[in-house]
Structure 1
Amino acid sequence: MIRINTFRLIALIACFCSAVTFGRGSLHHQYAKKIIPGADQTSLYLNYLKGKNIGMVVNQTSVIGDKLTPSVDSLLKLGISIKKIFGPEHGFRGNASNGATVNDSIDPKTGLPVISLYGKHYKPTPFDLNGINLIIFDIQDVGARFYTYLSTLQYVMEACAENNVELMILDRPNPNGFYVDGPILDTTYKSFVGMDSVPIVYGMTIAEYAQMINGEGWLKNHIQCKLKIIKVANYNHNSTYTLPVNSSPNLNTAQSVLLYPSLCLFEGTTLSLGRGTYTPFEEVGHPLLKGKYAYNFTPISIPGMSEDPPQKNNVCYGIDLKNYDTGIIRSSGKLNLTWLLELYNAFPDKTHFFNAYFVKLAGTDQLRKQIEAGKTEREIRESWEPALSRFKVMRRKYLLYN
Structure 2
Amino acid sequence: MVSYSLFKNTFLFSFILMAACGNSIQPKVDSQKSKIITENNSNTAAVTTPIKTGADNYNQYLPLLTNKKVGIVTNQTGVINQSDTSHSQTEHNYISIVDYLLEKKIDIKKIYAPEHGFRGTADAGELIKDGKDTKTGLPIISLYGNNKKPKPEQLQGIDILIFDLQDVGARFYTYISSLHYIMEACAEQNIPLIVLDRPNPNGGIVDGPILEKENTSFVGMHTIPVLHGMTIGEYAKMINGEKWLKNGVECKLTVIPCTNYKRDTFYSLPVKPSPNLPNDQSINLYASLCFFEGTNVSLGRGTNKQFQIYGSPLLPKEKFSFSFTPEPNEGAKEPPLKGKLCYGEDLSKAPKVKQLELKWLIKAYNGTEDKSKFFIPFFTKLAGTTKLQQQIESGMSEDDIRKTWETGLSSFKQTRKKYLIYTE
Shift of 1:248: 0.2
Q: Deviations over 1:314-339 (max 9, x none)?
A: 1100010010011xx23xxx211111
Contact 1:177 1:202 in 2 (8 A): no
Alignment partner, residue 139 of structure 1: 165
Shift of 1:174: 0.3
- Higher alpha-carbon deviation: 288-297 or 172-181: 288-297
> For the structure 1 residues 81 and 343, does the alpha-carbon distance in structure 2 shift closer, same or farther, using more than 3 Å as the test?
same
1:353 aligns to 2:374 (yes or no): yes
Alignment root-mean-square deviation, CA: 1.3
2:66 to 40, 50, 55: 50
Alignment partner, residue 11 of structure 1: none
Matches within 5 A, 1:228-243: 228-243=254-269
Alignment partner, residue 41 of structure 1: 57
Gaps of 5+ in 1: 1-27
Shift of 1:68: 1.4
Matches within 5 A, 1:176-195: 176-195=202-221
1:384 counterpart letter in structure 2: W
1:294 to 317, 321, 335: 321
Contact 1:297 1:315 in 2 (8 A): yes
Matches within 5 A, 1:2-401: 31-66=47-82, 67-289=93-315, 290-302=317-329, 304-326=330-352, 329-330=353-354, 334-401=355-422
Question: Equivalents in 2 of 1:140, 1:378: separation in Å?
Answer: 32
Question: Equivalents in 2 of 1:336, 1:228: separation in Å?
Answer: 35
Shift of 1:385: 2.5
Contact 1:178 1:239 in 2 (8 A): no
2:401 counterpart letter in structure 1: I
Larger proportion of helix: 1
SS in structure 1 at match of 2:50? coil
Question: Equivalents in 2 of 1:239, 1:227: separation in Å?
Answer: 26
Larger proportion of strand: 2
Question: Equivalents in 2 of 1:42, 1:148: separation in Å?
Answer: 26
Shift of 1:291: 2.5
Question: Equivalents in 2 of 1:283, 1:204: separation in Å?
Answer: 26
SS in structure 1 at match of 2:284? helix
SS in structure 2 at match of 1:131? coil
Alignment partner, residue 17 of structure 2: none
Question: Equivalents in 1 of 2:67, 2:46: separation in Å?
Answer: 37
Shift of 1:128: 0.7
Shift of 1:119: 3.1
Q: Deviations over 1:330-381 (max 9, x none)?
A: 3xxx211111111110111100000010000000000000000001112111
Q: Deviations over 1:271-307 (max 9, x none)?
A: 00000001100000001222221110110011x3101
Question: Equivalents in 2 of 1:376, 1:53: separation in Å?
Answer: 55
Shift of 1:30: 10
* Count of residue pairs the alignment pairs up: 369
Contact 2:275 2:331 in 1 (8 A): yes
Question: Equivalents in 1 of 2:409, 2:320: separation in Å?
Answer: 35
Q: Deviations over 1:135-167 (max 9, x none)?
A: 000000000000000100000000000000000
Question: Equivalents in 1 of 2:242, 2:48: separation in Å?
Answer: 35
Alignment partner, residue 37 of structure 2: none
Question: Equivalents in 1 of 2:206, 2:56: separation in Å?
Answer: 27
So what's the TM-score if we normalise by structure 2?
A: 0.86
Contact 2:203 2:266 in 1 (8 A): no
So what's the TM-score if we normalise by structure 1?
A: 0.90
Question: Equivalents in 2 of 1:288, 1:363: separation in Å?
Answer: 26
- Higher alpha-carbon deviation: 387-396 or 289-298: 289-298
Question: Equivalents in 1 of 2:395, 2:344: separation in Å?
Answer: 21
Question: Equivalents in 2 of 1:54, 1:227: separation in Å?
Answer: 15
SS in structure 2 at match of 1:345? helix
Shift of 1:32: 3.5
Shift of 1:177: 2.1
Shift of 1:31: 4.7
Gaps of 5+ in 2: 1-43, 83-92
Question: Equivalents in 1 of 2:145, 2:79: separation in Å?
Answer: 24
Aligned-pair identity (%) = 53
- Higher alpha-carbon deviation: 99-108 or 377-386: 377-386
Contact 2:125 2:145 in 1 (8 A): no
Question: Equivalents in 2 of 1:349, 1:100: separation in Å?
Answer: 30
Contact 1:142 1:174 in 2 (8 A): yes
1:259 counterpart letter in structure 2: L
Contact 1:295 1:318 in 2 (8 A): yes
